[in-house]
Structure 1
């Protein structure tokens, strides 16, 4: 999949997408955008644009292909655009948008490591004016190879398909010791655990040896979390490190528990 993360000082001319969001204050991101954003940037909201909140497939359900195509068209995006996505830094939201664009096979999409403040510090122009783009005419070719459905994950759990499930939540949520959000505690059976917050170094995200030693480079890995949001940066980091056989279970644990059993403790 090639390079995923880019340093703010290496950003060139292109399209910018602002994905700042706060799960505890859902209006914060849009207010932050209106108070100042990278000049020419558009704003994508986690719940209004990057999720289908009318669906029952988890807490931040995957938008339909039609919904995504309309989002990309009204954003004026084209396949030949170089697209830079940022959030507040050290957050999962830019990675969520990046994955959606890669699912639609946009070739040149990057996550700005360090987010909005790093771009400001690098001297990229900031504006309070929202730029309007003409509708684009897109014929999308979807990359189904990076998407995992609930039933795809079930084939892994049942031993029909050989792949590693990787849970991006905290260890205590993974083991079922504490579950503050979903109504069932535990994890998808057979899954390994790597807390995505271990990727954080200040406002930036980086891999570490513990992650890279969790599995072999050539094995298939399906990443999930609670609702598909915080699994996205873990997926993006692995892709940036050259892991090519990756899938994201967007519905994640909150979708899995609507149909199937869970496991408590550590998977063997």
Structure 2
């Protein structure tokens, strides 16, 4: 099953006999802003215009549980996640397409969660909302209750110990910006640096300037240069399990299965007993 869908393919599919359910997951990582500048509000962006029929999903409230010792975006409870997806109209027999404002990170988080919990047909709109050339709507749909029951395990999941082991036995990719990997800066978490043995692989290098994924062959070549060989076990982490999901999605486009360490650096670095490496090299 393809992991992404183009805007043209989506427009065609929406006119077919079995149109996909659309989920709008617009979200932005919280960053320091100038005094008085408004915070990003995905729900307000959705209300101002969204793909016709799309249902808004709140990443912080529905695709993660409360921040704490397990990280800034730990896994949501299965019961809560399943209820949120059913409220949005998600059913196992109906395809799902998720999109965000174009960065792709939030949409990838929704894609990964649905995939990990067993949904058989979920894709991300390549390029997000900016790629859509059709009309937008301000109507808020009232979807019929879905029947999706999440069953975890359909995709790879790592905890801190498994991520540390994979960095030695396979390939653990760090999807954050290179300066955070090196430990030059750390704007969010307790300390900068990376998990020892992890390889710097910023997810921003998997896409073009307009946010669309590079062709599958180019992605495969990139990951091969980073040490991903045939049959290698691959894992990904980031700051809090959001941009890392985007890298897992890029790997899927390239035909490479990979596991996600959801707690990521926000969980790893919160424990002073865990080792921290700095500099440009994995060690």
Q: Which residue of 1 aligns with 2:148?
A: 138
Q: Which residue of 1 aligns with 2:35?
A: none
Q: 158, 177, 180: which is aligned to 1:170? A: 177
**Distance between the aligned counterparts of 2:77 and 2:235, measured in 1?**
20
Q: 211, 214, 223: which is aligned to 2:223? A: 211
SS in structure 1 of the partner of residue 239 of structure 2? coil
1:226-245 to structure 2, matched below 5 A, reads 226-244=239-257
C-alpha distance 153-203 of structure 1, shift in aligned 2 (>3 A): closer
SS in structure 1 of the partner of residue 70 of structure 2? coil
- 1:74 to partner: Cα distance: 1.5
Deviations 1:42-75 (CA, angstroms, capped at 9, x unpaired): 1112211111125431111111222211111211
**Distance between the aligned counterparts of 2:47 and 2:118, measured in 1?**
30
Q: Which residue of 2 aligns with 1:262?
A: 276
Q: 249, 255, 265: which is aligned to 2:261? A: 249
- Count of matched residue pairs: 260
- 1:86 to partner: Cα distance: 0.7
Q: Is the 8 A contact 1:90 1:205 kept in 2?
A: no
Q: TM-score, normalised by structure 1?
A: 0.90
Q: Is the 8 A contact 1:50 1:97 kept in 2?
A: yes
- 1:211 to partner: Cα distance: 2.9
**Distance between the aligned counterparts of 1:86 and 1:138, measured in 2?**
19
SS in structure 2 of the partner of residue 47 of structure 1? helix
Q: TM-score, normalised by structure 2?
A: 0.86
SS in structure 1 of the partner of residue 28 of structure 2? coil
1:140-155 to structure 2, matched below 5 A, reads 140-143=150-153, 145-155=155-165
The runs of 5 or more residues in structure 1 that have no matched partner are none
The yes-or-no answer on 1:189 pairing with 2:200 is no
- 1:27 to partner: Cα distance: 4.2
SS in structure 1 of the partner of residue 120 of structure 2? coil
Higher deviation after alignment, 107-116 or 51-60: 51-60
SS in structure 1 of the partner of residue 61 of structure 2? coil
Q: Is the 8 A contact 2:115 2:154 kept in 1?
A: no
Q: Which residue of 1 aligns with 2:16?
A: none
- 1:171 to partner: Cα distance: 1.2
1:42-191 to structure 2, matched below 5 A, reads 42-119=55-132, 121=133, 123=134, 125-143=135-153, 145-156=155-166, 159=168, 162-191=169-198
Q: Which residue of 1 aligns with 2:21?
A: 15
